[in-house]
Amino acid sequence: MLSFILLALLAHALPIKCQNLQQQNLKIFILAGQSNMAGRGGVTNDTSKGIRTWDGVVPPQCEPNPSIFRLSADLEWVQAREPIHADIDAKKTDGIGPGMSFANAVLSKDPNFGSVGLVPCAVGGTTISKWQKGEFLYEQLVKRAQMALNSGGVYQAMLWYQGESDTINQEHAELYKGRLKRFFNNIRSDLNAPMLPIFQVALASGEGPYIEEVREAQLEIGLPNVKCVDAKGLPFEPDGLHLTTPAQVRLGEMLADAFLQSIPSPSPSNDAPTNSSNFVPYFWITAQIFRCLWMIVTFG
């Protein structure tokens, strides 16, 4: 009864922000990188008119799901739907990326997984230098990820697909590995998640001739809890740079398999209590109230 009263008071006092928070401990996945993470599946380039358009085709694997949410550009949880980077990679034309097929695959393969909270942060055409600590994209990623956590979520992993822009210049390709390591280490440090699982995509295309150099850096990153999913062999749009819609669906499923395989199997415990205590739900509710109050003070 007490928990019901507290929840009712909470919903009445904070009708907008706190109701958005109560997505039952969202499992947070950060989506970062450049255009192939933001999604260009189904996007075509009309060279005669100089415009790019998305065909609007959403495959079944990318359909909205009542258990999948996304953090919008204005830091509100909303139901996720394609293109999920439309208000983040806002200066480009976005289409299908791997995020929705990833989330749907996780939920279909693990029906007890819970609710997924996607935090889109990818921006097309960005080099790894633009993702270093102190740069706008880095600070935005940290801000959005921290907001997702403070609104009641739990970090699960970061999905990272970037590097095509670093294949243009030999010096950038040679410096890529060190910059990538620094980025991963700084993100983990600033999110207070030293072992945050990172699933990076080894690129299979690039804007320049140094694709193999960047791929080698990705495949040999040598950091704990960083796993590589190889995009080599997936089909591309006619531009030869961006993955097609079916390829993005497949990539999302590959990332989901890699993530689920990384989760340790729960070991049964004979010490578990037979009667649950009321302390846990009351503590959780109290924590949510303080989180809501913190958000009001911080974000107005």
* Model pLDDT for residues 80-111, shown as the tens digit of each residue: 999 999 999 999 999 999 999 999 999 999 99
CA distance 52 to 54: 7
Q: Where are the beta strands (DSSP E) in 99-255?
A: 116-120, 154-161, 198-202, 226-230
Helices (H), 167-210: 170-190
| Percentage above 70 pLDDT, the chain | 78
Whether 265 is a known active-site residue: answer no
- The position carrying tokens 């040598």 is 222
Whole-Å CA distances, 120 to 87, 134, 197, 241: 9, 19, 17, 21
At 21, the pLDDT band (50, 70, 90 cuts) reads very low
CATH number at 29-34+65-261: 3.40.50.1110
* Active-site residue (options: 3, 55, 108, 239): 239
* Active-site residue (options: 165, 166, 205, 242): 242
- The position carrying tokens 């599946």 is 41
Residue 283's CB: how many other CB atoms inside 10 A?
11
Whether 242 is a known active-site residue: answer yes
Q: Provide the residue ranges of all domains of the chain, joining segments of one domain with +.
A: 29-34+65-261
Q: For the whole model, what pTM was predicted?
A: 0.82
* Mean pLDDT computed over 163-178: 98
How confident is the model at residue 264, as a pLDDT?
81
Instruction: With beta carbons less than 8 A apart as the criterion, state whether 103 and 74 touch.
Output: no
Q: Name, in order, each residue with C-beta under 8 angstroms of 214's C-beta and a sequence gap of 6 or more.
A: 163, 166, 167, 173, 176, 203, 206
CA distance 138 to 140: 5
Whether 115 is a known active-site residue: answer no
* Active-site residue (options: 35, 67, 151, 165): 35
Cα dihedral sign for 97, 87, 19, 150? positive
- The position carrying tokens 């804007």 is 207
Best CA proximity match to 122, nearest among 98, 153, 101, 102: 98
Please give the single-letter amino acid code of residue 124.
Answer: G
